[in-house]
Amino acid sequence: MRAAATLAAIEELQPDLVIAACFPHIFPEAMLKIPKIGCLNIHPSLLPAYRGPQPLFWQLRAGEQNMGVTVHWMDAGVDTGDILGRATVDLSDGVNSIEIDKLVAQAGAKLIVSALSEDEWPRLLQGSAGASYQRAPTTADKVIPTSWSVRRTFNFLRGADAWAPFWIETEDAEQIEVREAVGYQTGLKLQRSVEQRGEEVWVQMKDGVLKVKV
């Protein structure tokens, strides 16, 4: 009943265009048919890569430095519709999830504003090259091995802090729950794999030391 009432309310408005931003549900076919022009979605990845419900988490986990945003026409699939426009988003070390959301939202909004000023809007086929889909992350996806580079680990913990807590698994199979990543230093070698340094815990990663609060 609620879905039917929502569709009826939107249909009564007779919109020319519907724009969704990171909407976590798939529009039903009846919804896609309501706007005269169509439905657009702002998706925080460079489609067709990283389709799915939480692409920012997976890009950060993969160590992507040049992330992006895509505005695409919505269809019956999951983030598979034709592309209106794409833009890269460069991240500096240590940005958190709030800062990333802001950068991605600004880039997506610029694409929408630019499109509104044009007479014709592109519809570029996504294709299958480079396409990927990631499900919602599980607890196992938040466990980090010490074989990762220290910079990748630091940026993942900082950028994906909205999905905390995380755990670092040492070579001894010990799991350290991490509350906050506060810094890192490449090239540094500890005497032990984990050392308490004041209020910080230092963890030996592949190529340096990660400084965290637990």
Residue 65 predicted with pLDDT over 70: yes
Tell me what pLDDT residue 120 has: 87
For residues 82 and 149, membership in a common domain is answered with: no
pLDDT at 34 over 60: yes
Q: Tokens 């993942």 sit at which residue?
A: 156
Q: Kindly report, residue by residue over 89-129, the tens digit of the pLDDT.
A: 989 999 999 999 999 999 999 999 998 888 889 999 998 99
Determine whether 119 is exposed, middle or buried from the number of CB atoms within 10 Å of its CB (0-12, 13-18, 19+).
exposed
Does 124 reside within a domain?
no
What is the share, in percent, of the chain residues with pLDDT greater than 70?
100
Euclidean distance between CA atoms 151 and 181, whole angstroms: 11
Q: Say yes or no to pLDDT of 1 above 60.
A: no
Question: 75-81 contacts: CB < 8 A, separation 24 or more?
Answer: 75/32, 76/26, 76/29, 76/32, 78/26, 78/51, 78/52, 78/133, 79/41, 79/43, 79/47, 79/48, 79/51, 79/52, 79/133, 80/48, 80/51, 80/126, 81/41, 81/126
The yes-or-no verdict on residue 3 having pLDDT over 80 is no
Please give the C-alpha separations between residue 133 and each of 5, 11, 52, 91, 130, in angstroms, as whole numbers. Answer: 31, 31, 5, 22, 10
| CATH at 37 | 3.40.50.170
- Is 7 found in the same domain as 107? yes
Is 130 within a domain? no
Same domain, 109 and 25: yes
pLDDT of residue 24: 81
Domain that holds residue 147: 139-213
| Interval 35-51: pLDDT, tens | 999 999 999 999 999 99
Distance CA 50, CA 56 (A): 8
Q: How do residues 173-203 score in pLDDT, each as one tens digit?
A: 789 999 999 999 999 999 999 999 999 999 9
Same domain, 95 and 156: no
Q: Which residue has the tokens 């240590």?
A: 94
